[in-house]
Amino acid sequence: MKVSDIDSGRQRGALALNILDTLVHRIGKDEQAALPHDWLAATILTVRNEIIERWMVSSKAAHAAGAKRVYYLSLEFLIGRLLRDTLANLQASAEVKAALAELDVDLTALEEIEPDAALGNGGLGRLAACFMESLATLDLPAYGYGIRYVNGMFRQRIDDGWQVELPETWLQYGNPWEFRRRESAYVIGFGGEVHGDENGAVTWKPAEIVEAMAVDTPVVGWRARRVNTLRLWTARSLDPFRLDAFNRGDFQGAMADQLRAETLVRVLYPNDSTAAGQELRLRQEYFFSSASIQDIVRRHVQYFGDIRTLPDRAAIQLNDTHPAVSVAELMRLLIDQYGLDFDEAWELTQKTFGYTNHTLLPEALESWPLPLFERLLPRHMQLVYAINAKLLRAARKVEGIDDRSIAAISLIDEGGERRVRMANLAFAGAHSVNGVAALHTGLMKTTVFADLHRLYPERINNKTNGITPRRWLQECNPGLTALITEAIGDRFMDDAEALTALAPFAGDAAFRERFAAVKHANKVALSNYLRGEMGLRLDPAALFDVQIKRIHEYKRQLLNIIETVALYDQIRSHPERDWTPRVKLFAGKAASSYHQAKLIIKLAGDVARRVNADPSIGGLLKVAFVPNYNVSLAERMVPAADLSEQISTAGMEASGTGNMKFALNGALTIGTLDGANVEIRDHVGADNIVIFGLTADEVAAQRAGGYDPRAVIENSAELAQAVNAIASGVFSPDDPNRYRDLMNGLYDHDWFMVAADFDAYSAAQRAVDARWNDRDGWQRSAILNVANMGWFSSDRTIGDYAREIWGVK
């Protein structure tokens, strides 16, 4: 039976028939029986067919040209949904929408039931996803390598104000985007013993092995210029079912190997603030590093024959230290399999790798207890020692170098229990070490990497982060995109820096009105969504003030909440003043073991409940914590924001990328001089951003020189009143002591300088109110933000990596 035969007789074009054919023959359902997920799968499979040929063209062209390939190794890819993005990049949205309409199916509804691929924690993972899209857009041959987690980032439910973590089952209906590559499989070993023979050749006999199998997802660049591959590894046992054990009646034993393999790829570590430290995490890191490096080496030798030309044909970028064991893995393959001598292998390795650092937080810097590393990876341990010997020999030649400096450079931390330092291994094994914003790169040179920097002063460089304007402007904000296109044409879609042509429109009153109308419509849409999801009633005319990101003390959601309490207090005391109506929105996940962060979520909810229920403030202030922050929620919230909260303690946020998304969508930033905020100010102009608070240098100086938060609190009536109200249970009458310790922490140490920055922050917020009342001035600034944010496109960032680190065109 052909699809046309079961056609209901209506007029249907080729694409509609194609989707229907896929539904019937691939999904096995007819139109009447199909559920929304069946239509989604049929649509994705049909679209995927359109991609495959371009995909093959892309890889054949790279092969024929002998092009150098980029390999982006990352334990996280926070992709989100793919259908809308892929259709947009194929320029096929309208066509597919029309075809589905012929089948009485709504494309937007399908797009919104696609599960969010949340294989990442936050900024680092989302950056990797933006980079993949920009690599394809810039027509650079590239592969992303990672793990196909069965359970990605947890789903957050808020129960009685408390965060509860639930497993996210994104693969529940299968994943129609992916191709399982059974033939691309590698054996990964763990443990066992290392033997050397009389000629010096070394063999590692692992005690345990699993197989890594490739699962590929096509990544379509803008205007489908190129299709690259995101290759995620899944694990399987080489002996998935032990019949001998089964026949003995040992049913569990029969499956034990398979279970162990599946455990490797079961969960993403849901933490971005504390190094995990568990054996399973190191196993994940090695599993994916080894599979990726074996795959890269195999491809190189197959195409080019000589392993010695690897650095000419492959650039491998390490996304933080999570894949740093790759340095030792490549050394192992070069020496033990290809017979190179150590020095030659080291030179090739250094030329091949680049390393990106994403955090200076000492607690997030990975290091592994030496006994664990040695037990799991005995051959790699030997290589780490050999690399370290070479590194320290070089260090000792530096004039005036002292023992403290040598100890800081060493790959082994000898203070306390001995540990392998992954950041030092990545630094030593790479020709390029980059930070992700100018300020952060500067701090790398003077703090964590100061000694390594003195040894290799050319190695550290800056690559300021970026975001893809396809997802973060065109797709999430079609209203603004249409308005911009009408004003300046569509060149900005191919070159985001062409947005500067919008700047003169800031002076055009009619344009400002239309710009404001687009923002208003986005706020109405978000309000409607939040009413449906959580019964919230918001006034879209109010100022939407948004802080959405991982919950962490350094990001200072607490500063925002305390200021909210102070504002509430002020409105109650002076109801006669001309207050700006505000909606304060929070969203974000806390690491499951991070008690303080979870308490901050609870506090946001407690403050919201009290404030929202108080009729005496006449609806001038509304507060909400929106559950389950993820990429899709960000796509709804970012276009609706008026004010973007980027208020980390200066020196602690490596870059931030949410800051860029908001500014590109016409929100004004209130922020500290931290991370990329500094460069955002330089681009949008100091008049179009609200900067407050201590600088990174001042934070360091205060911390060094007897900062006394108690005195600061006692000197600020507004702050003291808010802190004391929270501490005494005004917002938690059911448990008046709930926030006592949290508030005492501010008096006692206040490591994140909440008290130190409070008055400046509060004053900055009142300055925001004043600007809001100057409607023209506000819209002018908002338009100038959009016009000047093109530089923060990840196309620019990837162009910089390509030229300055990878040497690819």
CB of 594 to ligand 26V, least distance (A): 11
Q: Where does residue 5 rank: exposed (0-12), middle (13-18), buried (19+ CB within 10 A)? A: exposed
Q: Hey, which residues between 303 and 332 contact ligand 26V (CB under 6 A)?
A: 320
Structure tokens at 490: 């569509």
Report CA torsion sign: 739, 742, 744, 747: negative
Distance of alpha carbon 219 from alpha carbon 64, whole angstroms = 21
CB of 472 to ligand 26V, least distance (A): 14
Given 358, 602, 661, 683, the residue binding ligand 26V (CB under 6 A): 358
Q: Is 602 a catalytic residue?
A: no
229, 356, 657, 797: the catalytic one is 657
Given 80, 115, 122, 466, the residue binding ligand 26V (CB under 6 A): 122
Under the binding rule (CB under 6 A), the answer on residue 124 touching ligand 26V is yes
Amino acid symbol at 187? V
The residue among 76 and 295 lying less far from ligand 26V, judged by its C-beta, is: 76
Query: Candidates 187-195, 357-365, 701-709, 714-722 — which segment interacts with ligand 26V by CB under 6 A?
Result: 357-365
Residue number of the CB closest to ligand 26V reads 123
Distance of alpha carbon 517 from alpha carbon 554, whole angstroms = 35
CB of 435 to ligand 26V, least distance (A): 9
Distance of alpha carbon 160 from alpha carbon 576, whole angstroms = 34
69, 126, 236, 358: the catalytic one is 358
CB of 675 to ligand 26V, least distance (A): 5
Cα dihedral angle (491, 495, 496, 501), rounded to 10 degrees?
-50
Q: Where does residue 576 rank: exposed (0-12), middle (13-18), buried (19+ CB within 10 A)? A: exposed
The residue among 656 and 666 lying less far from ligand 26V, judged by its C-beta, is: 656
Closest to 335 (Cα-Cα) out of 380, 390, 303, 289:
380
Count of positions on this chain that bind ligand 26V (CB under 6 A): 22
12, 661, 683, 771: the catalytic one is 661
Q: Is 358 a catalytic residue?
A: yes
Contact string 454-473 vs ligand 26V (x = CB under 6 A): -----------x--------
In the block, which residue shows the tokens 């460069």? 679
The residue among 345 and 436 lying less far from ligand 26V, judged by its C-beta, is: 436
599 and 552 in contact (C-beta within 8 Å)? no
- Looking at the DSSP bridge assignments, the partners of residue 78 are 118
419, 555, 589, 683: the catalytic one is 555
CB of 554 to ligand 26V, least distance (A): 9
Q: Hey, which residues between 82 and 121 contact ligand 26V (CB under 6 A)?
A: 121
Own/partner pairs, 527-536, CB within 8 angstroms, 24+ separation: 529/636, 530/624, 530/626, 533/626, 534/624, 534/626, 534/627, 536/622, 536/624
Q: Hey, which residues between 41 and 80 contact ligand 26V (CB under 6 A)?
A: none
Query: What string of DSSP letters covers 323-374?
Result: TTHHHHHHHHIIIIIT---HHHHHHHHHHHEEEE-----GGGS-EEEHHHHH
The residue among 539 and 682 lying less far from ligand 26V, judged by its C-beta, is: 682
42 and 26 in contact (C-beta within 8 Å)? yes
The DSSP call for residue 274 is S
Given 127, 210, 583, 727, the residue binding ligand 26V (CB under 6 A): 127
The residue among 301 and 361 lying less far from ligand 26V, judged by its C-beta, is: 361
The residue among 273 and 405 lying less far from ligand 26V, judged by its C-beta, is: 273
Radius of gyration of the chain (CA): 27
User: What phi, psi does 653 have (nearest 5°)?
Assistant: -90, 115
The residue among 358 and 771 lying less far from ligand 26V, judged by its C-beta, is: 358
CB of 74 to ligand 26V, least distance (A): 10
Report CA torsion sign: 375, 380, 386, 390: negative
Contact string 706-735 vs ligand 26V (x = CB under 6 A): ------------------------------
CB of 656 to ligand 26V, least distance (A): 5
Q: Hey, which residues between 208 and 237 contact ligand 26V (CB under 6 A)?
A: none
The DSSP call for residue 667 is P
CB of 134 to ligand 26V, least distance (A): 14
User: What phi, psi does 538 have (nearest 5°)?
Assistant: -120, 150
Query: Candidates 166-174, 183-191, 356-364, 770-778 — which segment interacts with ligand 26V by CB under 6 A?
Result: 356-364
Distance of alpha carbon 180 from alpha carbon 87, whole angstroms = 22
Closest to 354 (Cα-Cα) out of 674, 679, 68, 77:
68
The C-alpha angle with vertex 523 and arms to 521 and 528, in degrees rounded to 5, equals 95
549, 556, 683, 780: the catalytic one is 549
CB of 302 to ligand 26V, least distance (A): 33
Closest to 681 (Cα-Cα) out of 698, 695, 699:
695
The residue among 273 and 382 lying less far from ligand 26V, judged by its C-beta, is: 273
Closest to 144 (Cα-Cα) out of 262, 227, 211, 210:
227
Distance of alpha carbon 235 from alpha carbon 217, whole angstroms = 17
Q: Hey, which residues between 247 and 306 contact ligand 26V (CB under 6 A)?
A: 269, 271-272, 275-276
Distance of alpha carbon 674 from alpha carbon 648, whole angstroms = 7
550, 556, 602, 796: the catalytic one is 550
Given 330, 420, 436, 460, the residue binding ligand 26V (CB under 6 A): 436
The residue among 440 and 582 lying less far from ligand 26V, judged by its C-beta, is: 440
Given 92, 113, 364, 524, the residue binding ligand 26V (CB under 6 A): 364
The residue among 465 and 477 lying less far from ligand 26V, judged by its C-beta, is: 465
CB of 426 to ligand 26V, least distance (A): 13
CB of 271 to ligand 26V, least distance (A): 4
CB of 308 to ligand 26V, least distance (A): 33
Q: Hey, which residues between 637 and 676 contact ligand 26V (CB under 6 A)?
A: 653-657, 675
Q: Is 549 a catalytic residue?
A: yes
- Looking at the DSSP bridge assignments, the partners of residue 317 are 72, 354
The C-alpha angle with vertex 54 and arms to 50 and 57, in degrees rounded to 5, equals 150
The residue among 62 and 325 lying less far from ligand 26V, judged by its C-beta, is: 325
The residue among 17 and 364 lying less far from ligand 26V, judged by its C-beta, is: 364
Residues annotated as part of the active site: 358, 549-550, 555, 657, 661
Q: Which residues bind ligand 26V (CB under 6 A)?
A: 121-124, 127, 269, 271-272, 275-276, 320, 358-359, 364, 436, 465, 653-657, 675
